[in-house]
Chain A
């Protein structure tokens, strides 16, 4: 939900919601996000010295995006009452953090796509035939994409 300050608020209602939010950084890392800068610049020529000059900077930048998301989710979880039975909570994405969130979600989607190769427009019937890990990865990828669309519409300038 968009906030008055130009950010987004995610209303967390179930334990599964928390699990999906916690999974953003691990999804990106398990899919080899360390290799993302090299993949993005795979077609750069040798003269550019990209490996020495740019890739380390991109790695640090992308890792920073994952740290921001993981820290925000963790902080939101710790605000909840540990004694309460309900796992409900709120995660706020501040306007100035929108690009970092978008980037982290993109890393996770790129990694999931590279690992499972969903391809464009999966049919629901195909989805049911997927093995469980691929099906759950696809659902997470769809959720990440929906969140990116909201960020694009309401937060990113």
Chain B
């Protein structure tokens, strides 16, 4: 009985925490080619070449870039796609 209450509270808390907007962040690595990263941003997000190149350069120069912001569910989908292209990606709660 007691454990049931605990589970419910935890689920409610988790659900609330996951609401709101989330950032998808991509990190730099020593291997991925710049042209490839640009292509991945074009393909995954449908960004035009200029925007994809700008984001790629931000990753390259700053070590990371915020590439998309939106719902948690969609952000997870994008993160999974980026990782399947071997880019390191994570989610951060939008500030």
Q: Does A72 contact B (CB under 8 A)?
A: no
Contact: B83 with A37, CB < 8 Å? yes
Interface residues of A in 108-126 (CB under 8 A from B): 109-110, 113, 118-120
Q: Does A106 contact B (CB under 8 A)?
A: yes
Q: Is the interface of B mostly helix, strand, loop or mixed?
A: mixed
Interface size class of B (residues with CB under 8 A): 20 to 34
User: Cα distance A48–B80 when bound, in Å?
Assistant: 11
Q: Does A43 contact B (CB under 8 A)?
A: yes
User: Cα distance A58–B76 when bound, in Å?
Assistant: 14
Q: Does A44 contact B (CB under 8 A)?
A: yes
Chain B interface (Cβ < 8 Å from any Cβ of A): 14, 17-18, 25, 27, 29-33, 35-36, 39, 76, 79-80, 83-91
Chain A interface (Cβ < 8 Å from any Cβ of B): 36-37, 39-45, 47-48, 54, 58, 61, 102-103, 106-107, 109-110, 113, 118-120, 145, 148-149, 152, 156
